[in-house]
Structure 1
Amino acid sequence: MSDAHVENTDISSSPAFHALNDLFNDGTLTQAQVDFYKSKYAKLHEEILKIYQNEKTLLPKAKELNEELRKKRLEAEEIMGKDREAHEELERTRTEFAKAEAEVVLCEERDAMLTLEIAELQKQKEEIAQEKETREREAMEALRPRIEGLEQHISQLTSEIEESSKLAQKLKEEKAELAERASGLQESITQLSADVENERAVMMKVRGEPSKIKKQADLTESSLNTVTAELKSVNSVMEELDKTIKEQAAKRKTLEDDRDELSLLKSRHNDSIEQKMRIKQEQERDLAEQLSRRDHIQEEALQQDITMRALQMEQKRVGDSVYRMQREKEETVKLFRKAELTLAASKGLVPNLKFQLQDYQRLLANQHKEKRDQLKRLEELNRDIDIFINDFLQEEGLEKEKAAALAALLRENKELEAEFSMLMQQQQSLDRETFELGAKRDSKAREYAKAVTSRKETEEEIKVKDIIILDLSKRSQNLAQQIKELKDLYELVKNEKNKTVNLIQTSQQALAEMKEKVGILQNEIEILQSETSSKDKALTVERQALAKALGERDAVRSEVNKLLFLYKDKQQTVDQKISEIDKLNSIINVVEKDMVRLKKQYEQAVEERNYTGIQLIDRNDELCILYEKSNIQEQILRNGELELNQREEELRVLALELGKCEWMYSVTTKLLPQLPRYRKEIEALRQLLEQERKRSEELSYELESPSNESRYRLLQGKDLSIDEMQKKITHLEDRLNLKKEQLLEKELVLEEVGALSERLRNQAVEGREETLDIAKSINEYQSRIKRTTRKLMACVSELSMYQATAMKLEQEKGVKVEELHQAKMKLEQGLPPTEEAEREWERMLRKKEMRQEMIARRQEEVRQMQGELQTTAIPRPNAYMPEDLALPRPYGAMAPFKPSEPGASMRHIVKPQPREIEI
């Protein structure tokens, strides 16, 4: 799999690049953004290729090292029984033990420095994580207007798709009309093809005569070919005999060569046996030398094993980091998809809610209107009743009937008022029921959306669990392999342990040396105590700096107040921009109406152009078909004449070739050495030919003789009489005359069609010039419309962006005002304004402390370098040493004593020649 990934270095054709190009073509991304994402993708691709390359190179190295280790182990096991230099190895291990102790001390010091660096890096990591979270929030807020713009673009695309579907329907109808025309033309083509077949049959009748002459020439040529074939067969037999003789001679020669080679191999084998005996003696000498190198090889093998394990751990760490990054990427993608699903679900609910709100508003308006009308009617009735009662009281001479009518009207009034109150109560109950039903429907829709999202989340979790199971199975296999390797290492270490038990005595001597080092460390402790006193002084300085920082904080608060006044001024400018945007929106609406009108005019012009173009194409096609028919008829006549002339020419050439062949035959018969034998064969063949000819004549006579009843078969049916045959002849002559008349009619029609086609051709040539001018003007109008639409779309997108930014700024304003209010309240209470400000203050204090510690450390180093601490010891390395440089050793071969300075006697000592180490 890694090879496939490594070979795939051409990322320009990758799906990611295609997706970015599609987004750029759609206009969702700019060129700068596309280049940025492509560069990021290229970097990630290079890192992955490097990881695969490292994996590919390290695995063969590990295999080679394992193979070398196995070989060395086998050699060590063979040499294990012949140990002769134990004493020298013991001395060597003692010196190496002392060196290892010195290296352990240096490693401990380096470890302490690394722990400090790790603590600092951990703090930096936390700061970077916080910055990352803030940037992600800002990026999501910046992407919101873009998402809204994409939604608008999607709605525009849906409208365009509907228009294109209508155009496709029109094109299908036009295609059906063209198919009907094509069927009619196909029928005319079939009729003309039948006429062509009749003419071809006539030509074939005439063509049969030259073929008979050619058959006679072929017979003579075949007889000549048989004779030449017999000559060739005799020559081939002679050549095969020559080949067999040559092959026998070659086999004999190869056998002789093999005999000579075997004799040489025998002598070489004897020489190789002697040489192997000498090599055996040399190997025995080398075996003795290998005994001395045994322990050195074992140490190298152990070191290689350690390095190999380190490389494997590094490889595993890199693989885990890549896997972790992929998991993080998948998790972020899942979160993004969940957000998209929730957004889509909420968007799907918004139109329904809007429609419901509009319906409820309309119903409420109608109810209010009816209520107002009924109240007006009630007031009018009450007013009429009051007037009526007043008139009634003024009139003293009313009759009892009017009093009864008044009482009836009062009762009806009360009944109507009771009915009105009952209807009002029913209306309120219905309103409550509709509201409850709408709430239930919304809750059910939300529950359904939650169920769908939960199902998708569970499916994604199942996939993740499957991946984790595969990962754990791989890890279990790796652990089993590591356990097996550790068992082998345990056996090796066990053997080494038995050897190192003998070296415990040397460690007792090292114990005395460690006691001396303890004294040195006590001196260093005293130095550290002096450093603590200096750090106490630094603490007082830091407290003074803290007081100074408090004063700076008050100054910063005054600056914050100034910035608030500036923010209010900027908000006024934002309000002005919003009013300008509203004006521009009205202008855009007017321009869009004009654009729609122009688009309709353009569509009408395009339909008219297409209709005229189709008619011109149909006329041109018909003209071309007629021209092709006339050309085919002329071509058939010309081909017939050419074929006749060609056959006559072939007959003449064949006659010449026949004469030439007869002359060649006479010449070859004179030149042949075995002419009498061939003459006898020719005579025999002629006699056979004569016999066969007689036999064929006899057979033909028997076939033709009417007396031979077995040679013929009576046909069924009856013979026609002379009258019937005469009628049939007249019928066929009538049909022939009818066909001739039809042929003349078709020739006349063809002439008329030719004249019409010539006229149509001239008209088509004239019409092409007009169509070109029309097409050019249409293309110009189309390009103008496209330019104006693009400009309008750009203006609309800019305005939508301005609206989105204004809304975003308004939201940010509210959030910032709320945060400012809370910060003021916290400051009044004596608390930090925000958590970020508190963290920033702690970070500043921490950086300041670290800076002062570094300054104090440097001052202490300078003080030590200036000689305040009197010592004769060589200073230890206190910085990171590169791997290609060896660690400096403060002692010589006789630790803890320093080597003496080289004197004048060094010139008498020969410079050592180091031996090359063969691995």
Structure 2
Amino acid sequence: MVRLACNQYIALKQNSDQQVAEMMERHKILANEVEILRLQAEAKAKAIEKRSLQMQKEVEQRGLLRLEQSRLIQKVKEESQLMEEYVVEIDRLNNVINVLEKEMLNTKRVYQTAIESRNLTGIQLIDRQAQDKDTEKKSQRALHEKEQDVNTLRLQLQEVERQLLSKKRRAKEVPILTAEVENLKTQLQEEKRLAENISRKLENPTEGRQWQELGGEDPDMETLEAKYRVIEQRFRSVKSELIDQDLRLEDLTELTEKQKARAAEEHSDAIRIRSEILRLHGKLIEMNRRMKVTMSELTLYKEYLPRLKQLQAEIAQSVENARENVFFGRPATPNAEEELADMLKREVARNQILYAAKLRTLEEQREVTTLR
């Protein structure tokens, strides 16, 4: 019994030792777990402290972010207002671009019209110049012909005056011939009276001696008639020559008057043609001046047109970029104020160029008017 009890006690002791060992083992395990839990708790505490610090920092950062959000909201409002202003400015710039495009189209139309007018004026000037050259050649040819005619008429007039002077010199012999004719007529009358007296004495037998011997030889009737005919023929030839000379003198006088009138008329025609040539030459000079003024204006437009095209391209690109920025919620332009200032400067420069061009045109027109 005692042994059994001892065995039971030994078994109980072994069980208790085993349980104690197990309990010690479990205690160690629990101690380890407690240490682990303590370490975890410390880690959690540190994590909580760190988290609280982080949370405090995040709260502070949230405050800062809220302030930044408020500032950004205010900035967004300002940017929205600025964007609206940019939209208004873009609309205004679009209007300016449309106006510039219209002005450019008008300028292009005026330029094309000026080119067509210039070409037409050039063609007209070339035709007019050719006509003027033909007219001038014809007028010079006509003047040369008229001068030749005048020289010919002058030579004819000199020849007529020479012949007239010769006829006048020969006409001085007419009184001598007339006196000789009168003398011959007187002699003929005396011879006729003598012949009648002799014939009457011969036919009348009552008168004493019917004949008387005379000295010399009496010319017969045929000789006397031949002499009379010769003298009468000479008288008639001289008279007809005088009448012919008078008629020729009258014809020459009339022809001379006609030639003088014709020369005066041709001289007046030549003066009129010369004045017409001078007028056409002055008109040609004026057309050349107008063409020079038009060419200077066209040169000015050509110089200004690339600037307009460049300005239009820059404005179109700026508007496209501004629209893209507005579409994506960004500011229209990063330096809108500077671009606006540059645009205003370009507008002022453009107005100055146009004003200078207008002043130059007015001065050229004033010079043309003064030269007229």
TM over 0.5, yes or no? no
* Superposition TM-score tier, normalisation by shorter sequence: 0.3 to 0.5
Q: Which has the higher contact order (CA 8 A, sep 6+)?
A: 2
